[in-house]
Structure 1
């Protein structure tokens, strides 16, 4: 598809806003960082690269999550770029609750489509495509 309809872009933005509103007390940026840590990324610099965010933005988000008791920095190393990050039990609970409420919100949207299964499959395919693009960019940056 060479010409993406602007309505498709607007739908993705509205979906993003729906998720954002459903996250009680957690921003999408904070959710994304928590999800990356839960997926195994332990270093802020790697999270920044995987999420295509600037390192200062990730560092600020990490610090706000640490202050809320949702994650901890491991080790005693003063260099925050190489200090491993991990979720606290409270962080895991907040992440699980956020994913539960966003899954419910998406389920409601999908239920209003002509073919919820097909729409869900397309979203999974988009996720795979995004993962591929981010991996390619990360490989390019590592050169």
Structure 2
């Protein structure tokens, strides 16, 4: 989910009446370095030592902003530079396809004939993908 600020994310989490700010003994645990944590009043962790009833704990790890924090300068690139970067991406992906296919042939997984056929198929598939790529959406995967 997206929120304008950490406070908005915290407020959203606290709208669930079964979640409250964590008790002091949980909020100081070393594995919650992000600050304020929260705990469930209804759900408990399973498999705890000595059968201790530890509530399910929550923490807000990441906040994504629609702007840089503190209105920092945003890197603005010219269309020309962006186009050069797109071409660089294209060339890197093509090199990746060639390297993969050579590796498969040299390791004995593909014959020479399969190597040539699969390279053509992979390149054709990539060109279709590249032509339809949405350059506005950043896909981290």
TM-score normalized with structure 2 length:
0.26
Higher share of residues assigned strand: 2
Higher share of residues assigned helix: 1
TM-score normalized with structure 1 length:
0.26
* Structure ranking higher on relative contact order (CA contacts 8 Å, 6+ apart): 1
Report the structure number with the largest CA radius of gyration: 2
